[in-house]
């Protein structure tokens, strides 16, 4: 397809597509003449991913480019490629300094991973951006005096494990390894607001059942 058709099918203006091409967010098309190129389904998929990163994920072009570089890294096996691509998504930084709260939170996180037998998580530890995010969250709970022990966090972790099965089942519905990696990144960004909204709706429903007219 030519640029105009790519724009029509993707819903992305031609000027925006040209910008993505210049910024290397979109691979170049197959050159037909000096002034025209052909684009394929891979470009449609990449446009959907770029829009998820920039429009929904609110990432800068530079950050989106880093994520896409991880998506394209075919030197890794499928597991590591999926992980690298998702980990390239922006995270809050890990603990800036060691405090009694962060040290205790790190012990809690380690014990949590041990109880769950999440062996890959235990091997990576602080190398994982998600691990640093977890330590920060547990430390914040501790500082503010809210429940933060292993037994408090464990039910959430078990639910997260069930969600991971659902996530990977969804990703495996895509045919090629590249499509699966692209989908893993896009769905991580697009489903996080879904999870947040469903949690709040579920809490409102449970509150109504316990304390409202239905209680």
Question: Are 68 and 105 contained in the same domain?
Answer: no
Q: How many domains are there within the chain?
A: 2
Q: What are 29-80's pLDDT values in tens digits?
A: 888 887 788 999 999 999 999 998 998 888 889 888 988 888 888 888 888 8
Mean pLDDT over 108-113 rounds to 94
Q: Report if residue 109 sits inside a domain.
A: yes
Q: Is residue 34 within 8 Å of 40, Cβ to Cβ?
A: no
> Residue 32's Cα: distance from chain center in Å?
36
Question: Are 58 and 112 contained in the same domain?
Answer: no
Q: Burial code of 31-42, b = ≥16 C-beta within 10 A, e = fewer? A: eeeeeeeebeee
Question: Are 152 and 199 contained in the same domain?
Answer: yes
Q: Please give the residue range of the domain that contains residue 30.
A: 3-72
Question: Are 105 and 205 contained in the same domain?
Answer: yes
pTM: predicted TM-score of the whole model, two decimal places: 0.81
Question: Are 206 and 104 contained in the same domain?
Answer: yes
Q: What are 141-165's pLDDT values in tens digits?
A: 999 999 999 999 999 999 999 999 9
Rounded to an integer, what distance in angstroms lies between the CA atom of residue 56 and that of residue 1?
Answer: 27
φ and ψ at residue 37, rounded to 5 degrees: -140, 160
Q: Report if residue 77 sits inside a domain.
A: no
Tokens matching residue 163: 């969600």
DSSP code at position 36 = -
Q: Report if residue 79 sits inside a domain.
A: no
Q: Report if residue 65 sits inside a domain.
A: yes
Question: Are 104 and 204 contained in the same domain?
Answer: yes
- Which residues neighbour 27 within 8 Å (Cβ) at sequence distance 6 or greater? 42, 43, 46
């Amino acid at each position: 397809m030519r640029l105009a058709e790519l724009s029509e099918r993707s819903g992305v203006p031609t000027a925006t597509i040209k910008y993505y091409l210049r910024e290397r967010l979109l691979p170049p098309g197959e050159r037909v003449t000096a002034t025209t190129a052909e684009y394929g389904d891979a470009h449609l998929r990449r446009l959907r991913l770029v829009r998820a990163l920039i429009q929904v994920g609110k990432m800068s072009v530079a950050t989106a480019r880093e994520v896409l570089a991880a998506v394209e890294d075919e030197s890794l096996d499928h597991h590591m490629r999926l992980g690298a691509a998702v980990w390239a998504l922006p995270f809050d930084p890990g603990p800036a300094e060691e405090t009694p709260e962060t040290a205790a939170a790190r012990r809690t996180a380690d014990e949590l991973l041990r109880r769950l037998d999440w062996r890959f998580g235990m091997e990576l530890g602080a190398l994982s951006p998600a691990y640093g995010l977890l330590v920060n969250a547990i430390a914040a709970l501790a500082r503010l005096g809210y429940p933060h022990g292993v037994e408090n966090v464990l039910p959430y972790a078990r639910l997260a494990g069930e969600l991971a099965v659902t996530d990977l089942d969804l990703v495996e519905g895509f045919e090629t390894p590249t499509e699966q990696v692209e989908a893993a990144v896009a769905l991580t960004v697009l489903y996080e607001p879904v999870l947040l909204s469903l949690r709040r709706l579920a809490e409102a429903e449970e509150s109504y059942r316990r304390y409202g007219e239905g209680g």
